[in-house]
Amino acid sequence: MAELPLTGGITFRGPAADIAAQMGMMWELIKVPLIVPLLRLSVYICVAMTIMLFCERLYMGIVIILVKIFGKKPDKRYKWEPMREDLEIGNASFPMVLIQIPMFNEREVYKISIGAACNLSWPSDRIVIQVLDDSTDLTIKDMIEKECIRWASKGINIRYQIRDTRGGYKAGALKD
């Protein structure tokens, strides 16, 4: 029989090969000062979270009841009716809209993208279309620029812009 000195003046007496008994003794030593307080803390946290969930459900129930009582409907809060055309105001009742079309060597879709933006049913003096071309292929750049010139000749407010660097933009994440 071997004696194994442990902390706190406790010694373990038994065969040195009795690992299970040693582990049981270690468990008894750390259970009260370490495990029990951690379990208590987790129980308190769970109780606090349960109370928070209950309060949130109660609050949402009160909000739903108040909405049902006072009858706030979305059609009273938001304008969903089409804008009336006023001859005196003209197109000023329409908000100004900016459409940005980023391009990067997109030979297959540049006509479709630019055409879709230019064919929107919106007053031409209340819309600005920007084609942001980051293409590295000069032939594609030329085709995109010619497409923009073609739409501009039809009276569309379209701007063709080339950026010096692609960093920080859509095309900056793409490889050549």
For residue 113, what is the domain's CATH number?
3.40.50.2000
State the pTM of this model.
Answer: 0.51
Split into its structural domains, the chain has a count of: 2
Lowest mean pLDDT segment, chosen from 136-145, 147-156, 158-167: 158-167
Distance CA 137, CA 148 (A): 17
In a domain, 80, yes or no: no
Q: Could you tell me if 100 and 46 lie in one domain?
A: no
Q: Could you tell me if 48 and 106 lie in one domain?
A: no
State pLDDT tens for residues 89-110.
777 778 889 999 988 888 899 9
For residue 3, the cross-strand partners are 13
In a domain, 76, yes or no: no
What pLDDT is recorded for position 16? 57
Q: How many C-beta atoms lie closer than 10 Å to residue 52's C-beta?
A: 10
Q: Could you tell me if 106 and 52 lie in one domain?
A: no
For the chain, the 3-state helix, strand and coil shares in percent, each to the nearest 5, are: 55, 15, 30
State pLDDT tens for residues 111-135.
999 999 999 988 888 899 999 988 8
Domain hosting residue 145, numbered range = 91-173
For residue 97, the cross-strand partners are 127
